[in-house]
Amino acid sequence: MVSPPTNKQILEWGLTTCVDGACLAIKSYVGHAQALVRQGTRLLFVPQIISVSKKEYTCPNFLGLPDLLKQYVPRSVELLSPTLDARKSKVALNCSYLGFGLQFASINTVRRAWKMAVEAQHAWEQSLHKHLPAEDLLQILVLGPRYLTDDPFLNGNLRGHLANLGAQVYSASQVPDDLSLELSKSMDKRLFWSGTRQSMGALEHFIHQLDGVINVAPFGCGAESLVGVLISRRAREHQIAMLDLTIDEHTSEVGMVTRLEAFCDLLERKKSG
C-alpha cells in the first residue's frame, strides 16, 4: 500500500501531530504515515536512511525519522526500519538492503527482487537524464530537496506555473550522480549532505545555459540555509539571476505565482537586452 499524493487532509494531519519545528517535508511525511494508518495499515516501512553516498549524509531529520515517527503512530502499528548507510561504501549500502530482505525471504528471492529493483531504479534515473531539446525559452534550474521540488502540492505547482510562464525547467535529478560528484570537487570544502551536493553539481553542469536559478528551501532547513549562500555566490559570478523561495505550510500559491511572474519578467527583459 502506498499513500496517495499529498493533499490538504494529509498535510493537515501532519501539521497537527508533528513537532512544530520540523520542516515541511517531515510534516508531510508524518501526514502520509497517518493516512496509511487510517486506512488500516499495521506495518509501515520507514527506513533510517543515514547516507546514500560515500562520506555523505542525507540530513539529521532522516537519521531520526523512524524514532520520531514512532511518537505519532499508535503502538499497534509496527515500523519496519532498516538502517541504510553508505558512508563507508556503496557496497555496504547494498548489503544493508539485502540483509533487510533476508529477514523475510530466502536468498534467491531476495536476489531476484534486488535485481528487479535496481533495474527499475536505473531505468527511471536514465529517463530523467535525457536532455531536453534546446528551445528558445527561458532556461531555469530548480534546486532544492526533491520532497519539495517534485511534490506539486507542497510547492504550489511550481513547475506547472513555470511552464505556463514559458520556461524550460531543469532539475538536479537530470545530472547523473557520478557527474555531480565530479563537478562538485572544485569546491573549497566538500559538502557533506548529498542533496545539497547534488544541487551544487547540477548548478555547475547547467551553468552556461541558464537564465535563472530558483532555490526552493523548506523553512528551517539547516543545510539549505547555508548552501543558499554558495548557490547565490556562484550564480552571481556567472551573472545568473537567482530566486530564493522558502516554503512552509503558510506559503500561498497566489503569492508565489506573483513572485515567479516577476522573476520571469526580469529574465525576459535581461535576455532581450
Nearer to other proteins, 96 or 168 (CB): 96
In the bound complex, what is the minimum distance in angstroms from residue 1's beta carbon to other proteins? 25
What cell was used for 11?
A: 498535510
User: CB neighbours of 185 closer than 8 A, spacing ≥ 6?
Assistant: none
* CB count in 10 Å sphere of residue 213: 26
CB of 48 to other proteins, least distance (A): 7
Minimum distance from CB of 206 to other proteins (Å)?
22
Phi, psi (degrees; rounded to nearest 5) at 235: -65, -40
Fill in the amino acid letter for 184: S
- With the C-alpha atoms ordered 179, 185, 189, 190, is the resulting torsion angle positive or negative? positive
Least separation in angstroms between residue 57's CB and other proteins is 4
- Of 135 and 188, the one with the shorter C-beta distance to other proteins is 188
Q: Report in angstroms how near the CB of residue 27 gets to other proteins at its nearest.
A: 11
With respect to other proteins, which residue has the nearer C-beta, 95 or 105?
95
3-class DSSP assignment, residue 139: strand
Cell of 36: 496509511
Q: Which is nearer to other proteins, 170 or 193 (CB)?
A: 193
Binding site for other proteins (CB under 8 A): 18-19, 21-22, 48, 55-61, 63-64, 66-68, 71, 83, 188-193, 217, 219-226, 228-230, 233, 246
Q: Distance of CA 157 to CAs 151, 160, 252, 253, Å?
A: 8, 5, 11, 8
CB of 232 to other proteins, least distance (A): 9
Rounded Cα–Cα distance for residues 95 and 113 (Å): 14
Given the complex with other proteins, which of 179 and 230 has the nearer CB atom? Answer: 230
Q: Closest CB to other proteins among 94 and 232?
A: 232
Angle between helices 24-38 and 60-70 (to 10 degrees): 30
Taking the complex as a whole, the smallest distance from the CB of residue 170 to other proteins amounts, in Å, to 24
DSSP annotation string for 142-199: EES-HHHHT-TTTTTSHHHHHHHTTEEEEEGGGS-HHHHHHHGGGSSS---BHHHHHH
Q: Which residue, 115 or 236, is less far from other proteins as judged by CB?
A: 236
